[in-house]
Amino acid sequence: MNSFTKISLVSTLALSAPLIVAAQDMTSEFSVDFQVGSSAIEPFVGSNARSIARLTDLLNAVKDDPSLRIKDISVYGTASPEGNPDFNRRLSDSRRQAIIDLLEDQYGIEDSIITRCDAMVDWNLLVKMMAVVDEPWATEVADAVKANSDEESRLAAIKRLDRGRTWKRLMKTYFPQMRSASAIVVTLEKAPEITTEQAAEERVYIDNGPAVFIEEPQKPLVEETGEEEGRKFYMDIRSNMLYDAALVPNIGVEFYLGRNFSLGANWQYAWWSKNSRHRYWRMYGGDINARWWFGSQAESKPLSGHHLGIYGQVATYDVEFGNRGWMGGTPGENIFHRANWGAGVEYGYSLPVARRINIDFTLGVGYFGGKVLDYNVIDGHYVWQGTKHFNWFGPTKAEISFVWLIGNGNVNVKKEKGNIDE
């Protein structure tokens, strides 16, 4: 999803009409929408402004009507199925608590009438959504949910359908609708007959506080469609600290392309020399890479977690110590002649350490080679000793990179003390 997840408001009370007291309890259900991976309630995310305005209307109506009182407020916190179960559990609990804090701080609701309901993944909602999809695969999804009692077996069964194609459909269109904190369910009951004096004493007054949540959004609400994903932008700027330690300044960028793929490029340049002592530390070049991200962290937020990739390298150099030196390529020619070239495959892990900071560990193996000029310094002159063809198969890339995350929503969310979850 792009910036938020959404479940439509469901209400069994017509809040725009006067409340009618019946003999039976009355309930209303409201949704609260959250940005992906976040538990912060934001007024202009999804339908929050509208939902909270209607919740405020309901609670004000109860305050002004002595014949009504709040029997119970049930709060559900949910997450979508595609993430890590432990992460989903922490996220749903955190979202539920955020709603409870809103009810207590904003509206003065007593904790004694709040019921905390466990609901990590709303499988019933998925079954209901599949019931209105006129496709054979939708029936298979519903059957897989009903036939398996635990979450792991359900997920495994769904992922096997149509060789993973069904799972991709669900991730694009239906799972985002399950990421809402789900619901605030308010149950009202008819208050017992009491005297005017008793009513004055027992009546519950609700302080709504500043009306920060009741304004309608100034911009149109974005409908919950799979097309939202394309509007999201993730990138990072990085520097390989191993090169930095070797006094080779470097910088890199990486862009998320969608569907767990990214494209990156790195460049390094060092031109240190002390000609009087015939010491040279000169090198420049770079690489480009394409990566596929996988694992629970990668599913929760792009550019985090495990990644596999391929890369191509180009570099030239002039390194001299102790009157002995080596120069990459052929001097005086263009870059294609004076550079060495390489390519390989890589594996890495990008570890979230702060809100917009990751540390990326990457190791690549492959080929690197080209011409190398071997020279000595004799009587103050550079004497060519020979030209070799250098060919190396093995580790050709190593990174411990400082990564700065850029983009709307491209942040790591702290869920527990000492841990960063994306």
CA pair distance 313, 121, nearest whole angstrom: 45
Domain segments of the chain: what residues? Answer: 26-130+175-218, 233-421
CA pair distance 51, 183, nearest whole angstrom: 10
Angle between helices 123-131 and 136-147 (to 10 degrees): 150
pTM score:
0.45
Rounded to a whole number of angstroms, the distance between the first and last alpha carbons of the chain is 14
Beta bridge partners of 321: 324
Please tell me the predicted confidence (pLDDT) of residue 227.
Answer: 36
CA pair distance 96, 32, nearest whole angstrom: 10
Alpha carbon of 373 to those of 168, 306, 316, 326, 329: distances in Å?
53, 39, 11, 6, 7
Q: Determine whether domain 233-421 maps to CATH 3.40.50.
A: no
CA pair distance 77, 89, nearest whole angstrom: 9
26-130+175-218: which CATH number, 2.60.120.260, 2.40.40.20, 3.30.70.20, 3.30.1330.60? 3.30.1330.60
Alpha carbon of 381 to those of 47, 378, 413: distances in Å?
76, 5, 60
Pairing of strands 68-77, 183-190: antiparallel
Residue of 409, 341, 400, 396 whose CA lies nearest to 365 = 396
SS (H, E, C) the chain: CCCCCCCCCCECCCCCCCCCCCCCCEEEEECCCCCCCCCCCCCCCCCHHHHHHHHHHHHHHHHHCCCEEEEEEEEEECCCCCCCHHHHHHHHHHHHHHHHHHHHHHHCCCHHHEEEEECCCCHHHHHHHHHCCCCHHHHHHHHHHHHCCCHHHHHHHHHHHHHHHHHHHHHHHHHHHHCCCCEEEEEEEECCCCCHHHHHHHCCCCCCCCCCCCCCCCCCCCCCCHHHHHHCCCEEEEEEHHHHHCCCCEEEEEEEEECCEEEEEEEEEEEEEEHHHCEEEEEEEEEEEEEEEECHHHHHCCCCEEEEEEEEEEEEEEEEECCEEEEECCCCCCHHHHCEEEEEEEEEEEEEEECCEEEEEEEEEEEEEEEEEEEEEECCEEEEEEEEEEEEEEEEEEEEEEEEEECCCCCCEEEECCEEEC
Beta bridge partners of 11: 28
CA pair distance 186, 178, nearest whole angstrom: 21
CA pair distance 83, 1, nearest whole angstrom: 13
Total number of residues shown for the chain: 422
- Structural tokens at position 33: 């929408």
Please tell me the predicted confidence (pLDDT) of residue 420.
Answer: 44
- Using an 8 Å Cβ cutoff, are 358 and 352 in contact? yes
Please tell me the predicted confidence (pLDDT) of residue 246.
Answer: 86
Phi, psi of 141 (to 5 degrees): -65, -50
In tens digits, what is the pLDDT along the chain, a chain of 422 residues? 333 333 332 332 233 333 333 446 788 888 787 776 777 888 777 778 888 888 888 888 888 888 888 888 888 777 677 666 677 778 788 888 888 888 888 888 888 888 887 656 777 778 888 998 888 899 999 999 899 888 788 888 998 998 888 988 888 788 777 765 466 788 888 776 655 555 455 544 444 444 344 333 333 333 333 333 445 688 999 999 998 898 889 999 999 988 889 999 999 888 877 766 667 777 888 899 999 999 877 877 889 999 999 999 988 878 777 777 777 777 666 666 778 889 999 999 999 998 889 999 999 999 998 888 777 777 666 666 667 888 889 999 999 999 999 887 788 866 444 444 43
Residue of 210, 328, 325, 327 whose CA lies nearest to 278 = 325
Place of tokens 């002004």: 64
